[in-house]
Structure 1
Amino acid sequence: MSEGENRIKQKEKDLNDKNQLAQKHIQEYETKKANIDRQVDVLKIKQEELDREHDEHIKRLEKISNLKAEEAKAELIEVIKNEARTDAMAHVQEIMEEAKLKANKEAKKIIIQTIQRTAAETAIENAITVFNLESDDIKGQIIGREGRNIRALEAATGVDLVVDDTPEAIILSCFDPLRREIARLSLQRLVQDGRMHPARIEEVVEKTKKQIEEQVMEIGERTVIELGIHGLHKELIRMVGRMRFRSSYGQNLLMHSRETANLCAIMASELGLNPKLAKRAGLLHDIGKVPDEESELSHALLGAKLAEKYGEHPSVVNAIAAHHDEVEMKFVISPIIQACDAMSGARPGARREIMQSYLERIKDLETLAMSYKGVEKAYAIQAGRELRVIVESEKVSDSESEKLSFEIADKIQKEMQYPGQIKITVIREKRAVNVAR
């Protein structure tokens, strides 16, 4: 019994000790809580003071700057935006300059590669052809009695024949290569045949003109085959052939067009474009220089019109029209044709400006004469110092022929610039032909 009581007392004592300890902890907690509350109150007071001072500071700033806080914030944001934009533009400009520099280097590289891969003839077209003879004795036969044969040949071909002291040679002089070729072939046939008189000369010249037309077609077909161009309209092929007998600033037009076509194909390949289409446009880019008929359109626009008429692709049509910046470039190959045309024409020795101005003056003389009613043919010979005008006898009388020569001379004086004098000769011939059966 005494042991049980002792245990109970001991437990009670332990409980009392624990209770006292708990009371002590509670007291300490209360003390700490009171301290924290006091600190919180102090912080609240300080926060209120800070807020008050902040508000007063902002009010003072607003008073000094005449701006409200929101306005100042917006202005600051705008300033930061502008600075960021300026920095960004500087970076963009730097990137663009770097890109341009790289693009220029790449463009030069492509042009150099294109030129290196192209070989072209460098000879300039002249306005004369030398016809070689086996003997100087043939010169007398060509001249004929009182010069009738040479006059007939000049009248039929429009070519000036120069018979001088040059041994075993006659010079054929004319600005038009086609006429010179007709005269050369006719003279060759007449010399071989041996029969030479005005009627025979006219007959041979007419046959030669027909032969030249066939030759023109052959040249065109051979050109497109060699370049690997397919599906070209026959009329365009004929025009390509006629390029052989045309020149531009002393540069043979067919050689120039072939060179441009090859340059275009190479450059298009380097740029990952269609080389066949570029080559086609390059060959046809000066097709507007071929037609004999006068046109109010420039050669680029006339060429584009012809290409469109004969079913060429719109990109080819645009490239032809735009290669002198007369219309907007709408396709990627258009600037390639323009660049390659310039490359072909601008290389040293390719062209002569003086030759072109001379050829244009000669052509203008003939065009002026052909503008009159009743004129059948007009030939400028002797380097443009003489203009021979052949009229139709049924439409122009003898008295009207004299009047016509005066009118043409007067118009040339008023409208054209030329060195020295120009002799105008109007030729009216009446032929009566009958057949005895």
Structure 2
Amino acid sequence: MNWIDILIGAAAGFVGGGALAYLIWDKALKKKKDSIVAEAKSEGDVIKKDKILQAKEKFLQLKSEHEKYIHDKNSHINNLENKLKQRENGLNQRRDELNRKTKEFETTRKEVEAIRENLNAQLQRVEHKSEELDKLYRQHVEKLEQISGLSAEEAKSQLVESLQEEAKSEAVSYINEIMEEAKQTANKEAKKIVVKSIQRVATETAIENAVTIFHIESDEIKGRIIGREGRNIRALESATGVEIVVDDTPEAIVLSAFDPVRREIARLALHQLVTDGRIHPARIEEVVQKVKKQVEEEVVETGKRTAIDLGIHGLHPELIRLIGKMKYRSSYGQNLLQHSREVANLSAIMASELGLNPKKAKRAGLLHDIGKVPDDEPELPHAVLGMKLAEKYKEKPDIANAIGAHHDEVEMQSLLAPIVQVCDAISGARPGARREVVESYIKRLKDLEDLALSYPGVMKTYAIQAGRELRVIVGADKMSDQETEQLSFDISKRIQDEMTYPGQIKITVIRETRAVSYAK
């Protein structure tokens, strides 16, 4: 029994302790629950306040955007209203103008009808008077026939014959006067056209040499350019085809080559190498290749810019590239591109003065020397080669002929050819355009005339067209026609052997007999 009591007591104690523990735990749980609920309420209040603030900000933003939208809409509507008002005003003005013109038209129509009625009345009176005059004329003719004893047709034929003879004699003298006046006027007008053309084109001349000076900051760079045992300078000369002269000249290196394109490539390559600081054979070859591409692009760009400046369109890309190459080519010290631009402008002005197409003349003037810058070097004169290139790239026949005929190597077939020839002579042969001072220029012309005067039978010599043509006048009694041909050949041969001159010189030997008489 004791054990049972003990077990019952233990069970009762356990149950009591569990109940007490449950009460304690339940109280703690309620307390914790209350604290969690309080924290949640406080966090909820904070979140609620944040959301309200965000909602207010969003509302204000939307309100501002809406107001801006409404303002923009109102501005747009106002602009449209203003435009509509302006259009309405314009339509009203046009309507008023139309009404005014309609009234004027009605008034004019009435005046025209009145004038027409007046003219019809006058025409009727004129017809009546004309009939009366015809009647009086017939009566007068009949009286004259009775008095003279000749019919009207016989008198008319006699009068016509006498008038024809008189008119012929007067016409001959009148024609002679007109021809003389036309000759004088033609010379004067031709001189005016040439002078105006020259005055209206002012082009700077550019003198180029066969060497280019490359400036360096210090003489230390010369050693780096030469390289160990000269390997750098040999690689540079081999890659560019330019002779590089490194001497005692302070802070300068001389680039020598006849081809100006190669000199420009060498100059740009040297500039990049010196700026970069890495100078060795592999780097030299790399830079030269890059510079060649740059120069080719610059050539094409120069050709395009030149064509745009002159207002010439539709050129073949290869012709544009050849025009760009002219920038690096010179002829007797005169820059070829500058010369071609000057010839183009002169040709256009002269064609305008003569009533021809200035655009065609400008195109032919620009292209006239493309035969000097081909990629290969065929054994052809540059004018003929330029003509073939123009024909190859679909230029018109008259332009191709003007290119080929500007040195008289092919026959001229249009008026463009002499215009281009004259303008080429004006640009290339005037003093100062090419590398000749005035004294040497005048001396060359004097030597040319003296050379021809040294032959027996020569009476006078004239160097014309700035030394591009030599005219030799011989006596008709001192030389035969065959001898004049031989004299022309001998003079041309001697000029080739003994003299230096730009371009070509045309020798014309004139043998003539003149009979002159005077009517007093």
Measure the CA separation in 1 of the matches of 2:386 and 2:327: 17
**Given the alignment of the two structures, is residue 128 of structure 1 paired with residue 226 of structure 2, yes or no?**
no
1:86/1:187 Cα in 2 relative to 1: closer, same or farther (>3 Å)?
Answer: farther
Measure the CA separation in 1 of the matches of 2:224 and 2:169: 88
Measure the CA separation in 2 of the matches of 1:296 and 1:85: 59
Structure with the larger RCO, 1 or 2 (CA within 8 Å, 6+ apart): 1
Unaligned runs of 5+ in 1: 1-80, 355-416, 418-437
Q: Which residue of 1 aligns with 2:197?
A: 114
Q: Which residue of 1 aligns with 2:286?
A: 203
Taking structure 2 as the reference length, the TM-score comes to: 0.50
Structure 1 position 96, deviation (Å): 3.3
Structure 1 position 181, deviation (Å): 0.3
**Given the alignment of the two structures, is residue 188 of structure 1 paired with residue 268 of structure 2, yes or no?**
no
**Given the alignment of the two structures, is residue 255 of structure 1 paired with residue 334 of structure 2, yes or no?**
no
The one-letter code matched in structure 1 to 2:201 is: T
Structure 1 position 242, deviation (Å): 0.7
Segment of structure 1 superposing worse, 161-170 or 243-252: 161-170
Secondary structure at the residue paired with 1:225?
helix
Q: Which deviations, in whole Å up to 9, do the C-alpha atoms of 1:209-250 show, x marking residues without a partner?
A: 122111111111111011111111111001101111111122
**Given the alignment of the two structures, is residue 315 of structure 1 paired with residue 398 of structure 2, yes or no?**
yes
The one-letter code matched in structure 2 to 1:113 is: K
Q: Which deviations, in whole Å up to 9, do the C-alpha atoms of 1:104-139 show, x marking residues without a partner?
A: 111111111111111111231111111111222111
Structure 1 position 92, deviation (Å): 5.1
Match of 1:345 among 424, 428, 431: 428
Secondary structure at the residue paired with 1:295?
coil
Matched-pair contact (CA < 8 Å) for 1:256–1:345: yes
Q: Which deviations, in whole Å up to 9, do the C-alpha atoms of 1:167-222 show, x marking residues without a partner?
A: 22212111111010010011011111111112221221122112211111111111
Matched-pair contact (CA < 8 Å) for 2:367–2:403: yes
Structure 1 position 286, deviation (Å): 0.6
Secondary structure at the residue paired with 2:420?
helix
1:103/1:167 Cα in 2 relative to 1: closer, same or farther (>3 Å)?
Answer: same
Q: Which residue of 1 aligns with 2:36?
A: none
The one-letter code matched in structure 2 to 1:312 is: E
Superposition pairs of residues 263-282 of structure 1, within 5 angstroms: 263-282=346-365
Secondary structure at the residue paired with 2:238?
helix
Match of 1:302 among 385, 393, 398: 385
Match of 2:312 among 229, 248, 254: 229
Secondary structure at the residue paired with 1:126?
coil
Structure 1 position 294, deviation (Å): 2.0
Structure 1 position 339, deviation (Å): 0.6
Measure the CA separation in 2 of the matches of 1:353 and 1:118: 21
The one-letter code matched in structure 2 to 1:318 is: N
Matched-pair contact (CA < 8 Å) for 1:177–1:245: yes
Matched-pair contact (CA < 8 Å) for 2:205–2:335: no
**Given the alignment of the two structures, is residue 173 of structure 1 paired with residue 256 of structure 2, yes or no?**
yes
Q: Which residue of 2 aligns with 1:332?
A: 415
Unaligned runs of 5+ in 2: 1-164, 438-496, 498-520
Instruction: Kindly report the root-mean-square deviation, in angstroms, between the aligned alpha carbons of the 2 structures.
Output: 2.3
The one-letter code matched in structure 1 to 2:260 is: P
Aligned residues between the structures = 273
Measure the CA separation in 2 of the matches of 1:269 and 1:301: 27
Matched-pair contact (CA < 8 Å) for 2:208–2:335: yes
1:331/1:286 Cα in 2 relative to 1: closer, same or farther (>3 Å)?
Answer: same
Larger C-alpha radius of gyration, 1 or 2?
Answer: 2
Measure the CA separation in 2 of the matches of 1:321 and 1:131: 39
1:353/1:291 Cα in 2 relative to 1: closer, same or farther (>3 Å)?
Answer: farther
Matched-pair contact (CA < 8 Å) for 1:124–1:349: no
Matched-pair contact (CA < 8 Å) for 2:232–2:281: yes
Structure 1 position 164, deviation (Å): 2.3
Matched-pair contact (CA < 8 Å) for 2:333–2:434: yes
Measure the CA separation in 1 of the matches of 2:388 and 2:344: 19
Q: Which residue of 2 aligns with 1:96?
A: 179
Measure the CA separation in 1 of the matches of 2:180 and 2:281: 73
* Percent of aligned positions that are identical: 73
Taking structure 1 as the reference length, the TM-score comes to: 0.59
The one-letter code matched in structure 2 to 1:285 is: H
Q: Which residue of 2 aligns with 1:42?
A: none
Matched-pair contact (CA < 8 Å) for 1:242–1:290: yes
1:85/1:172 Cα in 2 relative to 1: closer, same or farther (>3 Å)?
Answer: farther
Higher helix share: 2
The one-letter code matched in structure 2 to 1:230 is: H
Q: Which residue of 1 aligns with 2:326?
A: 243
Measure the CA separation in 1 of the matches of 2:284 and 2:375: 24
The one-letter code matched in structure 2 to 1:130 is: I
Q: Which deviations, in whole Å up to 9, do the C-alpha atoms of 1:272-291 show, x marking residues without a partner?
A: 21111110000000111111
Matched-pair contact (CA < 8 Å) for 2:206–2:333: no
Structure 1 position 352, deviation (Å): 3.9
1:100/1:194 Cα in 2 relative to 1: closer, same or farther (>3 Å)?
Answer: same
